[in-house]
Amino acid sequence: MNASLQDYLSSLRLGEPQTHRNIVVFPMIGTNNGDSRWLTLGEAIERQLLVVTEVSRSGSVPELIVINRTDRPVLLLDGEELIGARQNRVLNTTILLKEKSETIVPVSCTEQGRWSYVSAAFAEAKLVMASKMRAQKMRSVSESLAAAAGYKSDQGEVWEEIAALHAKAGINSPTSAMHDVFKARERELEECLCRFAPVWVESHHGSLSREHRLRTEKEFHTERDAVLVATNTLEVGVDIGDVDVVALVGAPPDTTSLLQRIGRGGRRSGLTRLLPLTRNRVEAAALASQLINAAAGRLETKHRFRRWDIFPQQVISYIRQNQGQGRSHLSLVELATEVWRQEGTGKIAATHLEAWRSDGRLQEMRGRLHLGTEWQKFDAEEDQEKTCHSNIRSSPAGVAVRNEVTGEIIGHISRPAEGGTMTIGGRQNRVVRQEAEIVVTPVTNEGYDETEDTPKYAGRRRRIAETFTAHVREGCGLGKSQAPHEFAGEVKR
């Protein structure tokens, strides 16, 4: 036996058996740290990195052509079915395709009654030929190899076995397709797969790319059993479907934030299940107070602070919306006074407007204010909205981390990677190179390194709000003039 294969097999261990009806599955868990860079057939097709077609327009029953567009090997398994093109086929042997290659692969027909195109390329059927049929097919392939005739199967025998499968399942397929049997029993198969399927786990936070977050939201919405570890980036305007349980780590700043974070739970049942997890007595006291207030319907009074740094952005956007007609001085002042009700807001806003008119950023024509020379650039630039609102960050700061295989930016971190691996978005990646950005390639379970390698994400330290300290006092049963001195120094927020 090959030494590397022997080493790999010796590194495997059996997990706890899983049982459903008359099926028992023993998980095989790898501990070897080798780097398996290959993709599966399904992974490569889903990412549009691999194309399987007929060898020509007229086609050839026992052959298909496979084009591997990626710089990683792709593993094709004996018995995997491909559907589409002129007729469905299964692979006659296991093949590890070379990177950036075109390969003619041997196949057997699994759809006797069709020889016409339904698609230009094949799709993955997401199933493998039944074990008994596969063993018989492989016996005929082995006999063909012994006769130096290549990887050919006894096609007639394959069709006979498929017909017997139809009869046993009580299925009538118009094209005698093996796939129709599995399709007809799809609900039973899904039930079985759900018993053995791993739980989907992902992460969602602002340092991950927008593409990653959108894909995560979509997958979480559709997965049956799923766990999503998220920050408050998931709170507003995101449809993730129903949530059975919300596990809340730590105490939010106030009761309103608490209700926002747990509000996605129990939308169908009307019952929110909360698992509160606190890291110290300060958080426990604050969270207890917030839960009591939430149950009683008591919310804190919100104070809106005047943010004069965003006032220019609002003025520019408001003037632009009127398409060259400008805006009145009063309407621009009201942008501030309608939001910030504090005394003196109108006077401060008017002072800013006068300063911008004096230095030419705004121009007054016929009693209306228009964008001046410096601010007119926001009309000319194609991506002016992003430029105008540049201090309201729409994409994460820091060094970009890019997946070498897909080209996708996974996320951003605050400083370059320090080791050979990096865990970002809940998945470990091997660092390929570091230039203006960090290029990584995903690490498989077999190649997982136990070293702690989670990077530092770019972000800001959250201030301790007055409302939070009030909840700590209330959770400790203290009055406004008292403070829980015994907790001093216990928590850093």
The Cα 159–Cα 338 span in angstroms is 76
The Cα 335–Cα 310 span in angstroms is 11
Place of tokens 């865990």: 423
The Cα 159–Cα 56 span in angstroms is 23
**What is the arithmetic mean of pLDDT over 177-188?**
92
Residues 6+ apart with CB under 8 A from 58: none
pLDDT category of residue 200 using cuts at 50, 70 and 90: confident
Give DSSP secondary structure letters for 194-245.
HHHPPPEEEEE-TTB-HHHHHHHHHHHHH-SSEEEEE-GGGSSS-----BSE
Whether the CA torsion 5, 11, 15, 17 is positive or negative: it is: positive
3-state secondary structure of 403: strand
pLDDT category of residue 266 using cuts at 50, 70 and 90: low
Q: What's 311-388's CATH class?
A: mainly alpha
In order of 19, 50, 138, 314, 449, the CA distances from 373 in angstroms are 73, 53, 77, 18, 57
Long-range CB pairs of 429-436, under 8 A, 24+ apart, other chains included: 429/401, 429/403, 430/35, 432/404, 436/400
pLDDT of residue 115: 96
**What is the arithmetic mean of pLDDT over 90-102?**
96
* Tally of CA atoms within 13 A in the half-sphere of 396 that contains its CB: 27
**Token code pair at residue 351:** 């002072």
β-pair type (273-277, 327-328): unpaired
pLDDT category of residue 393 using cuts at 50, 70 and 90: very low
**What is the arithmetic mean of pLDDT over 21-39?**
73
Compare 361 and 403 and report the one with higher pLDDT.
Answer: 361
Least confident of 85-89, 312-316, 379-383: 379-383
pLDDT category of residue 392 using cuts at 50, 70 and 90: very low
Rounded to two decimals, what is the model's pTM?
0.47
Q: Identify the CATH number of the domain defined by range 200-296.
A: 3.40.50.300
pLDDT of residue 437: 84
Compare 391 and 114 and report the one with higher pLDDT.
Answer: 114
The Cα 441–Cα 429 span in angstroms is 5
Bridge partners, residue 400, by sequence: 412
pLDDT of 83 over the 90 cut: yes
pLDDT of residue 382: 47
> E-assigned strands of 239-281?
245-249, 273-277
**What is the arithmetic mean of pLDDT over 183-200?**
81
Return the closest-CA partner of residue 437 out of 231, 100, 209, 205: 209
pLDDT of residue 51: 96
pLDDT of 338 over the 90 cut: no
Q: Are 213 and 220 in contact, with CB atoms under 8 Å apart?
A: no
Return the closest-CA partner of residue 90 out of 144, 37, 151, 150: 151
pLDDT of 446 over the 60 cut: no
**Token code pair at residue 36:** 């398996």
pLDDT of 352 over the 80 cut: yes
Domain limits, the chain: 1-32, 40-194, 200-296, 311-388, 399-447
pLDDT of 384 over the 80 cut: no
**What is the arithmetic mean of pLDDT over 255-263?**
85
Give DSSP secondary structure letters for 326-383.
-EEHHHHHHHHHTT--STTHHHHHHHHHHHHHHTTSEEEETTEEEE-TTTTHHHH-TT
Q: Are 88 and 125 in contact, with CB atoms under 8 Å apart?
A: yes
Compare 226 and 8 and report the one with higher pLDDT.
Answer: 226
Whether the CA torsion 108, 111, 113, 117 is positive or negative: it is: negative
pLDDT of 281 over the 50 cut: yes
Least confident of 161-175, 231-245, 286-300: 231-245
Bridge partners, residue 128, by sequence: 80
What is the largest distance, in Å, between two alpha-carbon atoms of the chain? 96
pLDDT of 493 over the 50 cut: no
Q: Are 468 and 251 in contact, with CB atoms under 8 Å apart?
A: yes
**What is the arithmetic mean of pLDDT over 54-69?**
96
178: exposed, middle or buried (Cβ count in 10 Å: 0-12, 13-18, 19+): buried
